[in-house]
Chains A and B, each alone.
Chain A
């Protein structure tokens, strides 16, 4: 049994891991729901201060990157490792672009005093401070996942070059793809909650 790899089992384990990730973020989404219920008006005011343009751009970036990684998995199935390397590089580049946008966005937030503990937030209504606390915690945890994701994608490229990932042994690549899609879908929920709806 140890000689061959159980593909279905490996994928199943990955799905269980994705459940745990959803539960991890789930705790914070519960906090969001509870505080939104309590500070609805403050949330609406504070929600207008986030940068919709950058948020939308980042959504587009992640969606395209998700396509790229899915295409990479398909390409590996057809055994064309060159296409895989190109597509994974695109994914990583987009992931880094996402993080760069986050950096710009956060620096703007900091200079304008939109962070918990700033004089503006301490004097202002508590609901707005809580909104930004959630904003930084949730998008921060998500950005951490993007960072981890790009690192793992980088590992995929190295393994593909070394022929350790092939059309017959592509569990690692597939599971990395699944992880990247999870990172993407979490953003799909964060985007309306912090940028679009409020």
Chain B
């Protein structure tokens, strides 16, 4: 198929051309890319804020920002990275672009709702930025803990409203995706023929639908509290701040799984393709995904072990926290076993996927250290926690997102990128990452608290070291993105199936045509069957993709 037939050249409605063809599109691929553009901008802002914080912490005495500014920095870094980058990132970019293709559909079931959620997302993002300037940047941390968040004079009211709007967007996206997966699958695609990425999008969407309304009402409660002072969360009027923490984490802990599950799906796609071998334990990966979504909804109070909940509650939530590690570990074993005896093709997507396993495992195991009730008291609110969640969220979700970008880039844009720069950027990122985040575990055990803009002189050496790591890491990220964008100078000649993949998105041209499929998609009875690829390989020619 000629490149002119790609969705870039055919607007979803012939009435629109140029910019409006993008802004008013109902094509899931264009919407996915628009999300991508917006999220990339916010990611760069969030990254800059983070780097600024670490630069500040590189010295004990020389201060480049005030304490109040530092509070605003970590609040905004958290709000942007959590609510605007990681939570929506993979479901809205890759979920929108690839989920309908993977199930053999033309589009999502509610295309116009899809566009609306994009605009809700944009509005929420703008409100978050406006709240910076309207009444002074919020200084509560991304958790908005009461009673401070209802008494501080900064622009928290607008920020929580922004989070509410972002939540509505996320929830409606979840509804759209679940319904699409139920109703729009191609003929022959039963539940056990669905590719694993789509399976994780499905379990993620359930968490979005069931948990997001809770953060919605919690944010509204802060708003009501700040505007009307009803006292439901205000201890001076009989309210209990602990109730806020419960409601907040009832969403925000499951949200962690919204962030990581699609990443696990991407990794599950990459391993079989680059090992030329069926995924090990397809059904167990599906079950583990749903298991994580279910048990992950029952662990929220492990964020509150030192907040004054009862010992029985601590015991129960600690227990579930250990249980939720099991399905995650099942997946890790599945991925590693997939490589065993396979024919490894070491390309950038696999490279990033392997780092995902390494970093995510460290993040997961350190999480269990926190989940144990005894140690938690010691390391609560220290840099240990900061180290842990950056290993999981960045080393896990972030690397999965980068791996997904390198995996699907040829399909999305029809262009190949330079492997060498991708590897160099990746190594810089990993070295910087380890230098940056690993010392946080040591600092945490030594007792350095999080969210302080200064520290005792004896913590200086590690903080300085971390700062250097931070700069190397950012340089790596920039190189990775520059390399990807440099691919636009290459001719749009990426083959339909550059890696030898078996799922449906590799059966259509790169980039895909407007309605994805030019002829009825042929659904394999097992989505990871590489026998065809193996046959081509035997017939001669070293490259399975030709």
Contact = CB atoms under 8 A, between A and B. Distances in A.
Interface of A: 1-2, 6, 8-9, 12-13, 16-17, 19-21, 23-28, 30-31, 34-35, 38-39, 116-117, 121-122, 126-127, 129-130, 133-134, 136-137, 141
Given A137-B224, A137-B230, A137-B232, A13 B176 contact: yes
B217 to A, nearest CB: 4
Given A16-B209, A34-B243, A116 B179 contact: no
B231 A116 contact: yes
A26 to B, nearest CB: 7
Which 5 A-B residue pairs are closest in the complex by CB-CB distance?
A126-B238, A23-B213, A9-B183, A27-B217, A24-B213
Nearest to B251: A27
Given A16-B179, A28-B217, A2 B237 contact: no
A117 B175 contact: no
Interface of B: 105-107, 109-111, 113, 171-172, 174-176, 178-179, 182-184, 209-214, 216-218, 220-221, 224, 228-232, 237-240, 243, 246-247, 250
Contacts of A122: 237
B453 to A, nearest CB: 34
A2 B184 CA distance: 11
Contacts of A141: 220
Nearest to A22: B213
A102 to B, nearest CB: 16
Contacts of B113: 13
Given A1-B107, A117-B228, A127-B238, 5 more contacts: A38-B240, A116-B230, A117-B237, A133-B231, A137-B224
Given A12-B179, A117-B231, A130-B232, A2 B111 contact: yes
Nearest to A117: B229
A170 to B, nearest CB: 17
10 contacts: A9-B184, A16-B174, A16-B209, A19-B210, A23-B210, A23-B211, A34-B243, A38-B240, A129-B237, A137-B230
Given A16-B175, A16-B209, A133-B239, A6 B214 contact: no
B217 A24 contact: yes
Contacts, number: 107
A122 B236 CA distance: 9
A46 B113 CA distance: 44
A12 B180 CA distance: 10
Contacts of A27: 213-214, 217-218, 221, 247, 250
Which DSSP category, helix, strand, loop or mixed, fits chain B's interface?
helix
Contacts of A19: 209-210
A126 B235 CA distance: 9
A167 B187 CA distance: 29
Contacts of B105: 1
A17 B216 CA distance: 14
B361 to A, nearest CB: 33
A141 B218 CA distance: 13
B231 A129 contact: yes
Contact of A137 (B212, B221, B237): B221
Given A1-B106, A116-B230, A136-B230, A34 B240 contact: yes
B120 to A, nearest CB: 14
Given A19-B210, A129-B238, A12 B231 contact: no
Contact of A31 (B176, B183, B216, B232): B232
A140 to B, nearest CB: 8
A39 B111 contact: no
Contacts of A121: 237
Given A19-B209, A24-B216, A2 B231 contact: no
A121 B239 CA distance: 13
B183 A133 contact: no
A127 B237 CA distance: 9
Given A1-B106, A9-B183, A137-B221, A17 B175 contact: yes
A193 to B, nearest CB: 15
Contact of B229 (A1, A2, A35, A116): A116
A31 B239 CA distance: 10
A117 B113 CA distance: 41
B237 A116 contact: yes
A116 B218 CA distance: 19
B225 to A, nearest CB: 9
Contacts of A116: 228-231, 237
Nearest to A8: B183
Nearest to B208: A20
Contacts of A129: 231, 237-238
A6 B246 CA distance: 39
A9 B217 contact: no
Contact of B175 (A13, A35, A39, A127): A13
A157 B421 CA distance: 61
B459 to A, nearest CB: 40
Contact of B232 (A21, A25, A133): A133
A39 to B, nearest CB: 7
A136 B237 CA distance: 15
Contact of A9 (B109, B220, B224): B109
B213 A26 contact: yes
Contacts of A136: 230
A20 B246 CA distance: 18
B254 to A, nearest CB: 11
A16 B175 CA distance: 6
A26 B224 contact: no
A117 B229 CA distance: 7
A12 to B, nearest CB: 5
A141 B230 CA distance: 14
Interface centre among B109, B113, B238 (most CB of A within 10 A): B238
Nearest to B237: A129
A198 to B, nearest CB: 17
A133 B184 contact: no
B299 to A, nearest CB: 17
Contacts of B221: 27, 137
Contacts of B214: 23-24, 26-27
B238 A20 contact: no
Contact of A130 (B179, B224, B238, B246): B238
Contacts of A2: 106-107, 111
Contacts of B212: 20, 23
A70 to B, nearest CB: 24
Contact of A13 (B106, B109, B218): B109
Contacts of B231: 116-117, 129-130, 133
B214 to A, nearest CB: 5
A13 B428 CA distance: 45
Contacts of A38: 240
Given A9-B182, A20-B212, A129-B231, A31 B237 contact: no
